[in-house]
Structure 1
Amino acid sequence: MQGWENLRAELESALAGEVRFDPYTRALYSTDASMYQIEPIGVVIPRSDEDVLKTLRIAAGHGAAALPRGGGTSLAGQTVGRAVVMDFSKYMSQVLELDADAGWVRIQPGLVQDHLNAYLRPHGLVLGPNTSTSSRATLGGMMGNNSSGSRSIIYGKTVDHVIEASGFLAGGDAFAFGPLEGAALQAKLGEKSREGEIHRALHRIAGENREEIEARFPKIMRRVSGYNLDELIKPQPFNLAKVLAGAEGTLAAVTEIKVRVCPLPKAVGVLVVHFDSIEKAIAASGPILRREGIAAVEIVDRVIIGQASQNLAAQRWMKSFMRGEPGAFLLVEFYGETQGEAEEKAERLSADLEREGVGYARVVMRDPATRSDPGKVREAGLGYLLGRRGDGKPVAFVEDCAVPPEKLLPYYQRFEAIMRRHKTSTSYYGHTSVGLLHLRPVINLKEAAEIEKMEAIQREVAELVLEYGGAMSGEHGDGLARSSWVPRFFGPRLYEAFRQVKRAFDPSNQMNPGKIVDAPGFTENLRYGPSSKTPEIRTVMDFSKDHGFVRAIELCNGVGECRKRDGTMCPSFQATREEEHSTRGRANVLRRVIAEGLPGEELTSQGVYDALDLCLSCKGCKAECPSSVDMAKIKAEVMQAYWDRHGVPLRVRLMGWIADINRLSLPFAPLVNWTLSNGLVRSLMDRFLGVDRRRQLPPLVRPTFEEWFRARSLPAGAARRGKALLLNDTFTNFHYPEVGKAAVRVLEAAGFEVGLTQLRCCGRPMLSHGLLRAARGLAEENLVRLYPALAAGTPIVGLEPSCLLTFRDEYPDLVPTPEARMLARSSFMLEEFLLDLKARGELDLRFRETPGRALFHGHCHQKSLVGVGPSLDALGMVPGLKVEAIPSGCCGMAGSFGYEKEHYDLSLAIGELKLFPAIRKGGEAAGVIANGVSCRQQIAKGTGRKARHLAEVLAGALEER
């Protein structure tokens, strides 16, 4: 920050957007999805074109570089640099104009690809290029990178769709580029303006180097290295917008883009072909490509399949299509006018391949619910790879080479020989349709010898790619990883032409310097190096599977899946759109704090507390992050350390020990309930405890569930199925006994003798507040109490997802013993338990016809660790009841989070993202079902609707016997 205070002050006074030069923000933006790390000067989050203009002008006045940034998903280091970073993703992310008839849309650069496609879908349109990062990649980033995707044999690259671009040049001069020819081009070439100068320079550079461009540019579909001078010699209008495509923000800051959009495919057929080896899969891709109607041919190898099998979300996807243990599989897509036609193409190819003995298994994805599952595994392949535990990681430095498709097999074979020679392993995935395999050798960047090996591998691979007439980058760009190879691939004359292009646009070298031309060596500015520290930090929970606490944080590789705006992961990012409140942002802060060498002290700083404060511990990252970063677990450890240093606040004590407090308060329930409902008391709690007065704490109910259970008359008849132990969680027992009563009725109707657990608490409230030592003590106590039942083979059945799943998820890490693992294996949610009986043919529950419609909202922990499938299947046993899962993420309540004064507004904002609107849209006629007690409380607060537990629905539909 030294030396840049005046720059920061001037930007703050001039901009309507946000200006952040603090160390935590600089840490957040010091990395992207690459292996590089460069701390920026500061970060600007512009709200308008005017902010961008002023940023460039003011930065130029202070001699500061500028770097446009979208989602930060660049794999080659394009979006890190010693510059003022301009993050377009928060505010400048709108669709400005659509002409559906003409087939174009005008957008701002921060718009995410999936969001554009959601906007286009009702019009029957789609953006052609489809990156695997579509859930968070912005259109500005796609243009800067010249992205393509799996269906590029149909749609090509982003440059093929760019029509116009406007924005600002270095220093703040405005530009507007579009197609020019004839008199319009001549007029532009004659202008005495900055635009005119640039057009004249580029027209001259392209003309003088036409023959060299034709000779040296690779003759393949996938090439995104260098500047697109080849676009200026094609028989098409002269268009400098196409030069900005793939320029990586080195020439200008684009603020508006006009792109061509395509008709939405009417139907897609999907075929998955399994092979014993990747060699056989590559060999088969050529003949497959010669078929008509092929939209994509993608490959995934054994390594990624193995890594994916350890990811909770991928496990569910792979069930639908994985057969055996393949060395690789090909994902083949077909387009058709109808679904029947598309599937017929897939069936026909499958039959032909079977007859020819190609592949050992072939699966046509007919079910609409699972048709996209293979593609999801393929799209998340990179993240699965980078989820590898330990210091050796699959590193991106030769991962994007493209060769002519007909040379792909020999290229693979010789690449493998290079790997064997250097005694390292790699993985393969990518686009066999266009000769592009993503290859990531495993390198430990913390060892100097490994970095030298990486340099040697890149040299050998570069020469191999040159020999085959390929490109070092087919879609990921040059960035810091490959810019140093641009002179070798294009030759000295074209390299000098590229430098002339840079000077014409940016004579002061302000825009993202050091990329494409005049680049540093590719092993400079690495995120990890021989001096990287990996200190051993003592923890309460067991992190041995991750090779320690620090490496659990380092699992975050920056791919940015947590920046998506659907699913469960990172509800706080979805609501705030702040990098700080994504899993990646939190991991970056923690990693940088540890790297500074003060782990014992700095992990307990206020800055780290603030970075983790809005993490709702939803566990979405554990399932949806391809690397399975468990930020909830990491946060709990940091919070325990924070409390150890600063003391535990009263509110945290009250919430963490809520079960004991409820038990002590029970004799005075009427007085307690009156007190909690009193406006004055709630105002005092708001002021002194930070419990928001706008929330109503649930009353204590007498008799409690346990009291009712003990006093009730036992059902007539012997239990047919043995005994089941119902987890008597704090919330069911003291606040919602009707849920427990319903569960008892269902289990007894299924033939079980029902018992109740005799536990103080499962420890969930303690875990949620970082009281890990207390939770561990409670877990040890509970394991002793539950062991006799476990040893007898008695299943533990739970109603509150967060409580039951604590046994499965946290207990083995809190108390890493055989008994804890036994409890994890023996614990089931009610619906899981019933469905397991049904699968074995042992469930004879009978339900009466119950016509109606209901919306189901799954608890975050349930969605992350189990999925909502079992709940929907169990509810599906009720005849006539049509249940639809709400495509919501977290409800926003997260236990006590929504009660906390400082979090109240965000809590409701998260609910308003999808959950509340879906319930309102469903109407009063649709029932609402939610298993989580927090979810039901939030639904009541946000919509005024009373949600029922699944157990209540099943019990209410039981047929009387």
Structure 2
Amino acid sequence: MDDQQADTLEQDLLAEVDGEVRFDAGSRAAYATDASNFRQVPIAVVVPRTIEAGASAVEVCHRNHAPVVSRGGGTSLAGQGTNRAVMIDWAKRCHRLLEVDPAERRCVVEPGIVLDDLNRELAPLSLRFGPEPATHPNCTIGGMIGNNSCGATAQRTGKVVDNVSRLEVLLADETRFWCGRTTDEEYAEIERHGDRRATIYRSLRHLRDEYADDIRDRFPDIPRRVSGYNLDSLLPEYGFDVARSLVGSESTLVTVLRAELDLVPVLPERTLVVLGYDSVAAAADAVPALLRYDPIALEGFGERLIHDEQIEHLLQDARGDMPEGNAFLMVQFGAPHGQDADRAAHAMLRGQGRLPEDPDVALVTDPAMEDDLWAVREAGLGASAHVPGEPDAWAGWEDAAVAPTKLGDYLRDFEALCQEFGYADDAVPSIYGHFGQGCIHTRIPFRLTDVDGVRAYRQFMEQAADLVVGYGGSLSGEHGDGQSRGELLPKMFGDRIMAAFVELKTTFDPENLMNPGKLVAPAGLDENLRLGASWSPHVKGPITFDYPEDGGFVHAANRCVGVGLCRAPEPKADDVMCPSYRATREEAHSTRGRARLLFEMMNGHGDGPITDGWRSDAVKGALDLCLSCKGCASDCPVNVDMATYKAEFLHHHHRHRLRPRAHYTLGWLPMAARSVAASRSARIVNRLTGIPAVRMAGAKLAGVENRQVPKFAAQTLQEWWSERTARGSGERRTVLLWPDTFTNHFDPQVGRAAITVLEGAGYEVQLPREAVCCALTWTSTGQLDVARRVLRRTVRALAPALHEGWPVVGLEPSCAAMLRSDAPRLLPDDLDVRRLAQNTVGFAELLQEHTDGWSPPDVGVHEALVQVHCHQHADGGWDADRALLANAGVEAHSIGGCCGLAGNFGFEAGHLEVSRACAEDRLLPALRDAEDSVAVLADGFSCRTQIAEFDDSGKHPVHLAELLAEGLISRMPHNE
């Protein structure tokens, strides 16, 4: 498509489509890759407001002869979610549950609805949509239909194709109809009309009759045949089901507008049994005997997955609950009521000659523990993709399937093949998957950046296809064929069936406008690679941060594997990632979208939409709404640290140029606070910022939002300390309390409370006499040269304490995280910076984990809501806080999510709306719903500031130190 054609297409889309039509570089870059090895920059991205608007977009594209591809969650692993086409993103707005018929157990949905959202809406009816892939928090029903998704629950409920009743579909030529099972009478009525739909049905009937015997002969009779088109659904024995024949067609035949789905009852009673085995092949050998007991899920994984998770410090508590063994089967039983699930589990164990007490058995009935153990299995993709110290592993041959009775032998031969190609030493790469249905997931350490590596990748894929076909299996058992396996389908189906596939494609899409180059006439499996032998990324200038786990910024920017958990509309309870996506529902404002733009910024193929490197306004725009919360550093399966990447980008983007005024106003806040303190002008400044007109003018001048300005303290913590009589003696262990800018200049009462508690716990507390700073505000605004200077000055001032090994106690979680995580990456060769990082501990960590013979006081409350600071969540979590509060008699619950202020973010001009939306996501509703007797804890200054401005419930958040100090003081015989 040349520039003139693109201009005409853009004008027509803008004129006729009710939605967002985007031809800009940033949007195209964000959608250039799915979760696969492939990359194709789309022509444009369309986000329709309604189903009818999406249909209009397809019609405009047909008129302009522009190819089209639909996109759901963007998590496809075979390349079917990326193309040089107009990308229609249904997920942002077309996500409604339209109808539910509980009696018939059916519902009608729009294609953009996320699976977990659908099941949450269905929960009051005790119904759910059965198939549940590992991406259930963020995958869409439309995407699941496109890929014929499955998941662990398919053991009970089957694939998506087994759970679709009817589909409303739109062809590229604007033909539109509902379809499903078709009786002879219904077929005759359709044909009688003589229209385009009649022609299609006539062609399908002919195709069925012509190839029926070939279909029955060549389609593997196994639970997980996902490869190819579902021609078997057209056979008479399956009711000539046109809808099900279109499931798994990967947007190559039709656009799905609405879907009528079959539902299954929720099984509330669950029992999980985890069995240990000597090897993953031995575990596979045991599967057929276990299937006789009708489990609702039967998953397996090998020791290598546990090894990878250990290296990455994932799920340590859950891994500790695993039984003995080198490989494991997770056998789950379910029942509608009573103890039926538990009885089935015990019957299975008896049949295997095992006991619940055996060391290689774990019998689990506690739902929380069960969820933890399932997390070990579901972490497979993230845990195996980027293992520190090992080659990166890639998709490609990640979901082949054979009959469960052949699984053990297949795995032994697969291991030998991996060893032959040098992809394994003593064992295959991480193996996990749906053993009960013979479907195996793995990621292979293909070398995709050199000619020999790409050549070996092709040879391996060809031989792996021969292997699985030799076992009567399917190239894909869950993820679809796309570009990864489309070229290999003739090995599995033969010439006759491949001719039938071409006929089916031609019937629905004679102009080849629907996701071309996938499945039929596919691009080669080594074409359109995201990396490839010619990939040559360009990053101008020296990189500022150290990226020790990535070997540099280039690899860090390519860390995202596309699984899309950052797009989950309803993340796990304590998760933070990704607040800006949750506020905007924009791909470019998700962690994944930003990672894609950074990847495109390096222009490794020379044909990317972003050609101006660090100066790119498209990348800057995507990063602008990143709160630098660091939630992704812990919640992302591969620990993408977008806050660090943003700081790196801003450093280069603004280098030798004037910055936004807010960067000076907020980035240099520590210096401004110090000046206010030195000039004794706190009261004057507070009085002026309290006058609305003055505050508004000052905000405009400073380039910040017109928000309530935190009040400066009349006396800083360090000033108060210098006037205070020293407590303690040399026999006590000394700790250095870190006087961060926020505690020192705005909330010194937090520091005073902390000193009271620390001294009560037996410590001698010291404070630096001179000004020190962790450089957080300069780092978050990308002023990294200044940040380095500030850090060097700080460690010089602290050197005596660091050399003595004093613990450095952080009260402000963001500053503690800066000292422990970012500072050593900014100055990796400075030994005192390393010492500071190693010595820094959080307030609760010191008291709970490093203090013997002390217990916290009774604080007079029994329940607390805790807004855990995002940086604390990413930097070790709040387990110590929770345990400390429990010892004080307080049952603490994390609110979860980000407060929305996030340091400087919420004050920067243009961020107020998103900042407030983040607060309204979880924080503010939780405060409104809380009883007055519940304490509210927020150790982060930003969190307390956000609550003070936006909370209308009257709650007053306090720091943990204040709560404990109040308890200590109340039990003293007299106040000191």
TM bucket normalised to smaller: over 0.9
Does 2:892 correspond to 1:883?
yes
Distance 1:365 1:828 in 2: 36
Judge conservation of contact 1:390–1:547 (CA < 8 Å) in 2.
no
Superposed CA deviations along residues 171-207 of structure 1, whole A, max 9, x for unmatched, are 2222111233253333123332222222222122112
1:43-91: CA deviation from partner (whole Å, max 9, x where unpaired): 1111122212221221111111111111110000111112111110111
Matched, 1:9 2:11: yes
Mind listing any 5+ residue stretches in structure 2 that lack a counterpart? Answer: none
Report SS of the residue matched to 1:687. helix
Equivalent runs, 1:760-775 vs 2, <5 Å: 760-775=772-787
- What does residue range 618-629 of structure 1 map to in structure 2 within 5 Å? 618-629=629-640
Spell out the pairing of 1:453-468 with structure 2 (5 A cutoff).
Answer: 453-468=456-471
CA distance in 1, matches of 2:555, 2:767: 40
1:948 equivalenced with 2:963 (yes/no): no
Which stretch of structure 1 is more off in the superposition, 243-252 or 750-759?
A: 750-759
Equivalent in 545, 549, 557 of residue 553 of structure 1: 557
Q: Is the 8 A contact 2:403 2:437 kept in 1?
A: yes
Corresponding residue for residue 668 of structure 1:
681
Q: Deviations over 1:207-261 (max 9, x none)?
A: 2222111111001010111111111225343321111211111111111111011
One-letter code aligned to 1:249: S
What are the within-5 Å matches in structure 2 for residues 552-631 of structure 1?
A: 552-565=556-569, 566=571, 567-595=575-603, 602-631=613-642
Q: Amino acid of the residue matched to residue 701 of structure 2?
A: F
Amino acid corresponding to residue 57 of structure 1 in structure 2? E
Q: Can you list the C-alpha shifts for 1:678-703, whole angstroms capped at 9, x where unaligned?
A: 2222111232222222x111111122
Within 2, Cα distance between the matches of 1:267 and 1:942? Answer: 42
Matches of 2:709 and 2:942, distance apart in 1: 11
Task: Give the deviation of 1:356 after TM superposition.
Answer: 8.5
CA contact (8 A) 1:392 1:445 kept: no
Q: Distance in 2 between matches of 1:161 and 1:720?
A: 71
Within 1, Cα distance between the matches of 2:316 and 2:356? 29
Q: 1:257 aligns with which of 256, 259, 269?
A: 259
Structure 1 residue 490 and structure 2 residue 493: aligned? yes
2:835 equivalent to 1:835: no
SS of the residue 2:720 aligns to: helix
Q: Is the 8 A contact 2:601 2:616 kept in 1?
A: no
In structure 2, the CA distance between the partners of 1:912 and 1:506, relative to structure 1 (3 Å rule), is: same
Measure the CA separation in 2 of the matches of 1:856 and 1:850.
16
Residue type of the partner of 2:961?
A: A
Task: State which drifts further: 733-742 or 532-541.
Answer: 532-541
689, 698, 710: which is aligned to 2:710? 698
Instruction: State the secondary structure of the residue aligned to 2:465.
Output: helix
- 8 Å CA contact 1:690–1:901 kept in 2: the answer is yes
Q: Using the TM superposition, give the Cα deviation of residue 293 of structure 1 relative to its aligned residue in structure 2, in angstroms.
A: 4.7
Structure 1 equivalent of residue 650 of structure 2 = 639
Output one character per residue of 1:284-336: Cα deviation in whole Å (capped at 9) or x when no partner.
4443333x252222223333333323446x24554552568x64333332224
Structure 1 spans left out of the alignment, 5+ residues:
none
Q: How does 1:82-161 map to 2 (within 5 A)?
A: 82-161=84-163
Contact 2:311/2:387 (8 A) holds in 1: no
1:398 matched residue in structure 2 = 397
Preserved contact between residue 94 and residue 111 of structure 2 (Cα < 8 Å): yes
* 1:499-518 superposed matches below 5 A: 499-518=502-521
Identify the range of structure 1 (515-524 vs 371-380) with the bigger mean alpha-carbon deviation: 371-380
Q: Secondary structure, in 3 states, of the residue corresponding to 1:867?
A: coil
Residue 678 of structure 1 is matched in structure 2 by 691
| 1:510, distance to aligned residue in structure 2 (A) | 1.6
Query: 1:907 pairs with 906, 915, 935, which one?
Result: 915
Equivalent residue for 1:296? 297
Instruction: Determine helix, strand or coil for the equivalent of 1:443.
Output: coil
1:710 maps to 2:722: yes
DSSP-derived class of the 1:394 partner:
coil
Residues 562 and 584, structure 1, Cα contact 8 Å, conserved in 2: yes
Aligned to 1:916: 924
What value does the CA root-mean-square deviation take over the aligned residues?
Answer: 2.4
What does the per-residue CA deviation read over 1:710-764, in whole Å, with 9 as the maximum and x for residues that have no partner? 333455x658752222111111111111211221121122111112244421111
Match of 2:269 in 1: 267
CA contact (8 A) 2:824 2:834 kept: yes
Shift of 1:343: 5.1
Partner of 2:44: 42
Offset at residue 114 of structure 1 (A): 1.1
CA contact (8 A) 1:7 1:59 kept: yes
Identify if the C-alpha distance between structure 1 residues 360 and 457 changes in structure 2 by more than 3 Å, giving closer, same or farther: farther
Offset of residue 378 of structure 1: 2.0
Q: For the Cα contact (< 8 Å) 2:130–2:157, is it kept in 1?
A: yes
- Per-residue CA deviation, residues 755-802 of structure 1 (Å, 9 max, x unaligned), is 224442111111111111221222222223333323333212211110
Deviates more, 1:254-263 or 1:207-216: 207-216
Instruction: Work out the CA distance in 1 between the residues paired with 2:365 and 2:306.
Output: 22
Contact preservation (8 Å) 1:553, 1:590: yes
The CA distance in 2 between the partners of 1:391 and 1:78, in whole Å, is 28
Q: Does 1:730 align with 2:741?
A: yes
Query: Is 1:868 matched with 2:878?
Result: yes
Structure 1 pair 323/595, CA: closer, same or farther in 2 (3 Å)?
farther
CA contact (8 A) 2:861 2:933 kept: no
1:913-942 superposed Cα distances (whole Å, 9 cap, x missing partner):
122112112244433211111011112222
Partner secondary structure for residue 247 of structure 1:
coil
2: distance between equivalents of 1:59 and 1:391? Answer: 45
Distance 1:915 1:572 in 2: 14
- Asked if 1 retains the 8 angstrom alpha-carbon contact of 2:98 and 2:109, the reply is yes
Equivalent-residue separation in structure 2 for 1:6 and 1:424 (angstroms): 49
Do the aligned partners of residues 66 and 100 (structure 1) sit closer, same or farther apart at CA in structure 2, a change above 3 Å counting?
same
In the TM superposition, what is the alpha-carbon distance from 1:811 to its structure 2 partner?
Answer: 1.8
Q: Secondary structure at the match of 2:167?
A: strand
Matches within 5 A, 1:226-245: 226-233=228-235, 235-245=237-247
- Change in CA separation of 1:281 and 1:769 when aligned onto 2, cut-off 3 Å: same
Q: Structure 2 vs 1, CA of residues 234 and 192 (structure 1 numbering), >3 Å: closer, same or farther?
A: closer
Could you say if the C-alpha distance between residues 340 and 773 of structure 1 is closer, same or farther in structure 2, counting changes exceeding 3 Å?
farther
| Mapped partners of 1:480, 1:350: distance in 2 | 43
Aligned to 1:180: 182
Task: Summarize deviations over 1:524-552 as a string: whole Å, max 9, x none.
Answer: 11111111114465222212331111111
Instruction: Return the offset for 1:382.
Output: 1.1
- Contact 2:703–2:908 under 8 Å retained in 1: yes
Report the 3-state secondary structure (helix = DSSP H, G, I; strand = E; otherwise coil) of the residue aligned with 1:914. helix
Q: Is the 8 A contact 2:662 2:908 kept in 1?
A: no
Equivalent-residue separation in structure 1 for 2:215 and 2:744 (angstroms): 76
Q: 1:853 aligns with which of 825, 841, 863?
A: 863
Aligned counterpart for 1:542 among listed residues 543, 546, 551: 546
TM-score (norm 1): 0.95
Count of residue pairs the alignment pairs up: 951
Counterpart Cα distance in 2 of 1:753 and 1:369: 41
Report how far residue 649 of structure 1 moved. Answer: 3.7
